[in-house]
A and B are shown apart, each in its own frame.
Chain A
Amino acid sequence: MAKTDIGPPDYKTMLPPVIARNYGKWRYHEIPQPGLLVHTAESGEKLYSVRAGSPRLVSTDHIREICAIAEKYCEGYLRFTSRHNIEFLLSDKDKVAPLLAELDSKGYPVGGTGHAISNIVHTQGWVHCHTPATDASGPVKALMDEIYDYFVTMKLPNHVRIALACCLNMCGAVHCSDIAILGIHRTVPKPDNTRVPNVCEIPSTVASCPTGAIRGDMKNKTITVNDEKCMYCGNCYTVCPAMPIADPDNDGISIWVGGKVSNARSAPSFSKLAIPFLPNNPPRWPEVVDAVKNIIEVYASHARKHERVGEWIERVGWERFFTLTGIPFTDKHIDDFDMATETFHSSTLFKWE
């Protein structure tokens, strides 16, 4: 009989000795170059963290290669960040330069620190999910290839957090990102009435709909969908597999901007809709890549130092955001869900563009 409820390995057994010795006694840090963090403890000891990008979806052999690098330079100690980067943790300053050289020769991007674009938090997409409206790894790879320079430098006004979720369920919780890439469906689910009675629980299917678009049809032990109320979230499909929603010609990607989670300067805030729909165009999603790159470049050339994307837009106004980026404003940008009116202008204090 297997052991159960042992919990994760104790993190204390995974800490490099320099961290164990200086735990909770760090004094300050510096970023002498992109991808290199130097933390100094009260004792005067220093920890060198080298941050490298990763595709997140990795093979065991790739992980073993990372292990071998960590064993060569870091006495076998490393960590991963909340944005899927790898961090090599060194106590020996002399090993930093050889590590950087080896990472460079093996094609690991080093960066993602300070005023940079770090790795894109993302979901499974077509690789492993049952409700995706787009792929995740593919658009991320295509976009990171294009904005690579922002990962390996620190030349933006502030850091730009990008996240991608392949449907509204948002396993990647992209709702508070500087730039969010969100897969969306645009057509109503199609209930298969021959299968619904066998594979779905009617009350939970009805309850799964945020807009009350699904009604029970008890006589026929199935459900009906009110097409006018449906906003294609696909939550019903998660509960009831007999109402598929995927539609190759109409599924695609929406772009959201201006969210943040940090409390620095301004309060945490949600991302707001910038582009309601872009097509799924694998394998490299050129429309999505161009749109995101455009937003980054307009931000980079207009924001003041330390302004996050949302703070910049708040200062110049949404009117100007749409003008500067050339993104058309449509009726889809105006909220019509719960609390929508909180986003309407109830003053005459707007700008001309």
Chain B
Amino acid sequence: MAKRETPLLDQLEGGKWPSFVKDIKQAAEKKPMAEDLLQQLELSYKDRIGHWKHGGIVGVKGYGSGVIGRYSDRPDLFPNVQAFHTMRVNHPTGWFYKTDALRRLCDVWDKHGSGLMNMHGSTGDAILLGTTTDHLQPCFDDLTEAGFDLGGSGSALRTPSACVGPGRCEWACIDSLDICYNVTMSFQDKIHRPMFPYKFKIKVSACPNDCVASIARADFSVIGTWKGDIRIDQNEVAAYAASGLDIQKEVFDLCPTKCMEWDGKKIKIYNKDCTRCMHCINLMPKALRQGEERGATILVGGKAPILQGALLSWVIVPFMKLEPPYEELKDLVLRIQDWWDEYGKSRERLGELIKRLGMRVFLRAVGLPAVPQMVKAPRTNPYVFFWPEDIKKEVK
């Protein structure tokens, strides 16, 4: 095919950071679709505006999600991206791959699509960028043959994700990978067939460092935590001090609860005052280990701004033991989704519904007790609602 010039995008090929333009050009060697993507992007760089139109309903048999329809608004100039749909492929939990699986994924995508993908999308899926409507079903068939399935999109359970957890990390308080995989497999129907008021995200982080940002990005956040005393190896503490770590300044002075003491030789921790922030453990992983009773804090409501403003998830269960098959956790997810499905308005996320109807109503509906760990402080206004049973009935 005749090469056209891309003077603007060419300026993004230089520099030390890997260039996406090089990757598009590499795909364009084989795929007219990638060449037209490059050309349309060049036009966007010139016009300073996007050139994609809205979706339209496209998909694969039996599913209502996993495919995002996309069309060029200049098919006259770029006929090969007239239709350029995205397929979201549910990644292996923790984004672990053996190369034979990854090569199978590439082969399917070379056969059916543009040869371009995102490793990975923000929610976690491997994103296959750009194919035509008639290739969707055959591509899906080949994907499942290769051992992959689609992820969530639209008003569905989105592809759950998890941090690396016990796969590599000494701080894992829960088996984030197994929990995420178990939830994903148990809720396949909810991922593939949108039936909710809006999207619903579940993310599992194995400790309060929250490497998958579950508190900010998930409607249902699972964050590993512990009870009991932080275990101290005083010899390793001394080794850190000897190696140049200023324990007073870098560790204790930055402890948010000031629950530690250091006499220059040994440290003492007042565990009752500790809020398990991880700072000291992050700095001295050899010397300090979390308490031995492990579980998770469950929080709900996190989301980005659309529609009623961004929210960070709120604590609803301070501590839940999480052992396979995780029935208590999944049952709570189902009770929450049932309530949200019943009362949520179109495009109303869980956190927004709780804001609208009240945490008090939510807790009663899903059967959770009110506990002090849920609030930073009790209410300051006197606009208190009481339940009918709180009120003494008139005696006749």
Contact = CB atoms under 8 A, between A and B. Distances in A.
A133 B308 CA distance: 20
Given A6-B144, A27-B286, A67-B99, 20 more contacts: A2-B141, A11-B181, A15-B96, A15-B167, A19-B168, A29-B170, A60-B116, A63-B102, A70-B99, A135-B44, A144-B17, A145-B14, A175-B310, A176-B215, A235-B307, A248-B49, A249-B48, A251-B48, A261-B215, A265-B254
B164 interface: yes
A213 interface: no
A208 B345 CA distance: 11
Contacts of B105: 63
Given A23-B166, A82-B161, A141 B20 contact: yes
A268 B210 contact: yes
Interface string A238-251: 01010000111101
Interface stretch (A71-79, A93-101, A222-230, A316-324): A71-79
Given A175-B305, A207-B346, A248 B48 contact: yes
Contacts of A60: 27, 106, 109-110, 115-117
Interface residues of B, number: 125
13 contacts: A5-B149, A7-B184, A57-B23, A60-B27, A63-B102, A77-B98, A130-B54, A137-B20, A144-B15, A259-B216, A265-B256, A306-B283, A337-B309
Contacts of B189: 5
Interface in B247-283: 250, 254-256, 276-279, 282-283
Interface in A227-275: 233, 235, 239, 241, 246-249, 251, 259, 261-266, 268-270
**5 nearest A-B residue pairs (beta carbon):** A145-B15, A24-B166, A144-B17, A170-B304, A263-B208
Contact of A64 (B103, B116, B185): B103
B396 to A, nearest CB: 46
Nearest to A127: B41
Interface stretch (A186-194, A280-288, A292-300, A325-333): A280-288
Contact of A54 (B18, B50, B163, B175): B18
A277 interface: no
A39 interface: yes
Contacts of A86: 119
Interface in A301-353: 305-306, 337-339
Contacts, number: 343
Given A59-B24, A248-B48, A280-B48, A263 B278 contact: yes
Interface in A32-60: 39, 47, 49, 53-60
Given A127-B37, A171-B122, A270-B312, A82 B147 contact: no
Looking at B11, B109, B168, B306, the one whose CB has the most chain A CB atoms below 10 A away is B168
Contact of A263 (B20, B149, B184, B209): B209
Looking at B18, B45, B208, B213, the one whose CB has the most chain A CB atoms below 10 A away is B18
B340 interface: no
Given A130-B53, A264-B278, A11 B96 contact: yes
B92 A11 contact: yes
Contacts of A70: 99
A38 B310 CA distance: 37
Contact of B188 (A5, A137, A172): A5
Given A14-B98, A141-B17, A172 B37 contact: no
B70 interface: yes
A246 B49 contact: yes
* Number of chain A interface residues as a range: 35 or more
A241 B53 contact: yes
B91 interface: yes
A198 interface: no
Contacts of B177: 11
Contacts of B63: 4
Contacts of A174: 304
A258 B132 CA distance: 42
Contact of B170 (A26, A124, A129): A26
B12 A283 contact: yes
B312 A306 contact: no
B119 A63 contact: yes
Interface string B1-26: 00000001101101111111101101
A176 B216 contact: yes
B30 to A, nearest CB: 8
Given A27-B170, A39-B170, A126 B346 contact: no
A284 B12 contact: yes
B216 A175 contact: yes
A123 interface: yes
Interface in A109-167: 109, 121-132, 135, 137-138, 141-142, 144-145, 148, 151, 165
Interface string B187-228: 011001000000000000000111111011100000100000
B379 to A, nearest CB: 15
A130 B144 contact: no
Contact of A128 (B70, B212, B307): B70
Interface in A1-20: 1-11, 13-15, 19
B357 interface: no
A84 interface: yes
Nearest to A305: B250
Given A63-B106, A126-B50, A145-B17, A14 B12 contact: no
A221 interface: no
Given A26-B170, A60-B115, A268-B215, A262 B52 contact: no
B167 A4 contact: no
A238 B164 CA distance: 34
B170 to A, nearest CB: 4
Given A5-B192, A8-B93, A82-B213, A176 B312 contact: yes
